[in-house]
Structure 1
Amino acid sequence: MKWNQLLSTKRLGMEEWKTSARPEDRTQFQRDYDRIIFSSPFRRMQNKTQVFPLPEHIFVHNRLTHSLEVASVGRSLGNLLAEKVTAEFPENPLISEIGTIVSSACLAHDLGNPPFGHSGESAISNFFQNGAGKEFENRLSPAEWSDFIRFDGNANALRLLTHQFNGKRPGGFALTYPTLASIVKYPFESPLATKQKFGFFQSEKE
């Protein structure tokens, strides 16, 4: 595996930006983690319940607490991997950041899920395939239409993190390429998906 190519501090929309020569209090990948955890899409997950049986307690598990727990486990697993990889490639200092990259991916893994999770995905897909949304079919390319009738929360998460805000720079949250790559669990578009899951919408294909 070519770790020198996989691990980079370049950011989407800020490719020409140079890391400051002064000592920094956070690494670039820690900045990614912080940008996600302080973001509005992340905070909105507190209103989305995690799948659960009839609860015995007042507390109901939501997507936000679930993502924090997953990020904690992911960081530990990533750090274990980093230790093993560092032993083989000691010349690459960014390998020590694998735990942070994995934890950022874990934080973001549910960002694009609609309310009611997979049932919400099915409802959105059905709206366009069989409901009132079908009127938009002739305005879209076949690949774009496939995105709508096979709506997927994973692709939506990538869109949330990379979509340009009004009046702002390109790149959305301007996360590093390794962090964004770790979020794309299914590296293909909807027309190539054999099942419901795919990694990005046509709007993010470039």
Structure 2
Amino acid sequence: MQRTDVPPDVHPAVLQTVALILRPTTGEPVALETKVLDLEQQPDGSTTLVVACPSGLDPREHHFEATVAWTYPLGRMECTVSTRPGRRAYGDVWLLQPSSPAARLQQRAYFRARVSMPVLLRWPPDDELPDETLDLIGVVVDISEGGLMATVRTLPPAVGTAVEATVRVEGDNLVQGTRVVRHVRFAGGGLGVAVAFDDPTVHGDRLRRLVFETERRRRRR
């Protein structure tokens, strides 16, 4: 993965949903989603992002090493930030102060679109019972020809698990092998799971067309 610096005034838009990764001094990083509530210009020319405090976390917490990421017309953007608690007329917030210029992530990734559709995840409980399967139904949050993110009601399979994923596009069930790449805890308490397709070319044309059509409709609105 390569990072390409972009102009320092690039930032997510007000009311845009962003991904926030917190790196505590102990334990694993925590991935969350939250929303930008305001942009505050500072005397030094920098922009402080005012975001909603994710549900279930202490609004008084400080984080000295965090990353905020968002989708931008240039691609996927990322910026390291520190967070501090704050309060505005609409309640408790976190104030994200950039500690480096925003950067565009250049990687062998695929453009994603936010969609909502059911997904069936199916995997064997263990290697000793290959003919048995566990099923988990979720709702896709975003999808690309390279993978998808879905919300689920129960604990998803462990990271690294080989999973068969089925989504329905234009009346057809698209089935392909995937692998779990991460778990996500959404703001509000929901669980999420991200999977990468083993072979993005299997249904790549169909999914790419879905993504582009979804994005065109969004832009028209």
TM more than 0.5: no
More strand per residue: 2
More helix per residue: 1
> Shorter-chain TM-score category?
under 0.3
**With structure 2 as the length reference, what TM-score do the two structures score?**
0.23
**With structure 1 as the length reference, what TM-score do the two structures score?**
0.24
Return the structure number with greater relative CO, CA threshold 8 A, min gap 6.
Answer: 1
